[in-house]
Structure 1
Amino acid sequence: MSTRSDPVTRRAALVLGSGLLLASGVFASDLPASAQTAPQPMRIGIIGAGNIGSTIGGLWAKAGHEVMLSSRHPEELKGLVEGLGPKAKAGTPAEAIAFGDVVLVAVPYKAYPQLARDYAGALQGKVVIDAGNATQARDGEVYDEVRADGIAAVSAKYLNGARIVRAFNAANYKIFARNAGRGGERMAIPMAGDDPQALATAAQLVRDSGFDPVVVGPLAKADTFAMGSPGFGLDLDAEDLRARLGVAR
């Protein structure tokens, strides 16, 4: 029997208690270090190899996870993945989805309809960390959908069947690169999703990349920290971010 999904299965078991804490509004990042689960390596497929994909992927590779950044022309990523170290490799989007226990979507939002057409079946049941933002100048009709319906609903439409967690979308990649693993109180990353196990897995990956997770609520709450909202672009620690977004501790 294949053991392809064993890493994420083990992780899910290890963080089950963490997932319950998340659901009840108590965050594992608030626990003493001795009570937190030791990181377990995962395989992460990254759709896109731009600023967000390469920045967050590099942090995960540094933390010991295996990452595959993707492009329709993966040979062009050779220099990038070599710079990220031995835990990083390149592939096509289809290869990255198949490779990953978890998938990070980090492409321009206008690409989501094509992503759905090409890979909807492959993404079914996957934990998908959705880091996309919609901008008027770049994303055209999809931006109009987001403006009308909210980014949570539009992501759910195009990533239908995936276990979506919105995260790593609420700031510029330069802010992530500058603040990852900083001393003192860590920068907090707002997250939203409907699947408790997916949230627990994504929260651990937020910690592994050098930040603190703050679960804002179900996927619909992702609109509170989408680009253009008052919750976007905040460089705050977990306590201050919860206060700003009105999240109960």
Structure 2
Amino acid sequence: MNRAMRIRRASLLGLASALALLLLPVPRAHASAPEKAVSRTVKPRKIGIIGTGKIGGALARLWVKAGYEVLISSRHPEELKPLAEQLGPKARVGTPREAAAYGDVVLISVPYGALPQIGRDHAKQLSGKVVLETGNPYPQRDGPLAEEARLKGTGQTSKALLPGVRLVRAFNAISAVDLSNQSGREGTLVGIPIASDDEEALKIASELVKAAGFEPVVVGGLERAKDFDVGTPVYTRLLTAEELRKHLGLPQ
């Protein structure tokens, strides 16, 4: 083989090698990097609202706006039809019993003196459900029961009045006006204290607090609900979550 042929053969072999390299799979630049977490949208829950007054009505508006379906109720459900029409197709009207049966989660927002009857009348429908309860006891309105709750704490008192539910004390330490006006405010959100003996119920309640445009602050079990009862230093004060934790002696 002469010199020219050897050079040509070498050139062809080099070209073949280059082409083979080009056909090899190119490694991904970020193959070893962890994949970004996929954001998950919480599946909207159905919420039954027993007592659609100022607090219940405000939360109905906020939750419908966030994409939840609600059934609003009162002792006179016909009076709630205008509100349901304003809220649109995600809202319907019913009796308290229907609200208790309808909701995956139930909000009870009634005068504290009405709580014993709610517990008796709708025990079957409420059994095993996460129940957010907002009532505050006032002796001049609710009688001896309110005096007992003030002494014992609403967490423990409400637990006895609503047996069989996964109770969360929530939205009792904010006024109805602030609930409407401070939702999703610019800057740092207002903190909402919540308490329950059920960890999963606290997670669900936290989800609903966030959906309403506030920052949940888990205070502890129902025994600690008295720390944000009516008359306490944090009651109806517009505090951030950080400020609320500081006032309640919670870790930051």
TM-score range, shorter chain: 0.7 to 0.9
Q: 1:38 aligns with which of 37, 41, 47?
A: 41
Q: TM-score of the superposition, structure 2-length normalised? A: 0.82
How far 1:37 sits from its partner (Å)?
4.7
Counterpart in the other structure of 2:119: 116
Task: Give the aligned residue type for 1:77.
Answer: L
Q: 1:207 aligns with which of 205, 210, 220?
A: 210
Task: Give the aligned residue type for 2:149.
Answer: V
Inter-partner Cα distance in structure 2 for 1:36 and 1:218: 30
Counterpart in the other structure of 1:156: 159
Counterpart in the other structure of 1:184: 187
Is 1:65 the counterpart of 2:79? The answer is no
How far 1:196 sits from its partner (Å)?
0.7
CA RMSD of aligned residues (A): 1.4
Task: Map Cα deviations across residues 59-86 of structure 1 (whole Å, 9 max, x no partner).
Answer: 0000000011112221221111112222
Inter-partner Cα distance in structure 2 for 1:134 and 1:173: 16
* Mapping 1:15-94, distance limit 5 Å: 37-94=40-97
Is 1:247 the counterpart of 2:250? The answer is yes
Task: Map Cα deviations across residues 20-72 of structure 1 (whole Å, 9 max, x no partner).
Answer: xxxxxxxxxxxxxx787533211000000100000011100000000111122
Matched residue SS, 2:89: coil
How far 1:220 sits from its partner (Å)?
0.8
Inter-partner Cα distance in structure 2 for 1:151 and 1:35: 40
Inter-partner Cα distance in structure 2 for 1:174 and 1:35: 36
Matched residue SS, 2:230: coil
Q: 1:237 aligns with which of 232, 236, 240?
A: 240
Question: Contact conserved, 2:116 with 2:162, CA < 8 A, in 1?
Answer: no
Is 1:172 the counterpart of 2:150? The answer is no
Matched residue SS, 2:135: coil
Question: Contact conserved, 1:39 with 1:208, CA < 8 A, in 2?
Answer: no
Counterpart in the other structure of 1:24: none
- More moved, 118-127 vs 93-102: 118-127
Inter-partner Cα distance in structure 1 for 2:161 and 2:82: 31
Inter-partner Cα distance in structure 1 for 2:116 and 2:236: 26
Q: 1:146 aligns with which of 144, 149, 173?
A: 149
Report which structure shows greater RCO (CA 8 Å, sep ≥6). Answer: 1
Q: TM-score of the superposition, structure 1-length normalised? A: 0.83
Matched residue SS, 1:210: coil
Is 1:131 the counterpart of 2:134? The answer is yes
Larger Rg: 2
Q: Which runs of 4+ in 1 moved over 6 A?
A: none
Matched residue SS, 2:55: helix
- More moved, 111-120 vs 35-44: 35-44
The unaligned stretches of length 5 or more in structure 2 are 1-36
Task: Give the aligned residue type for 1:52.
Answer: I
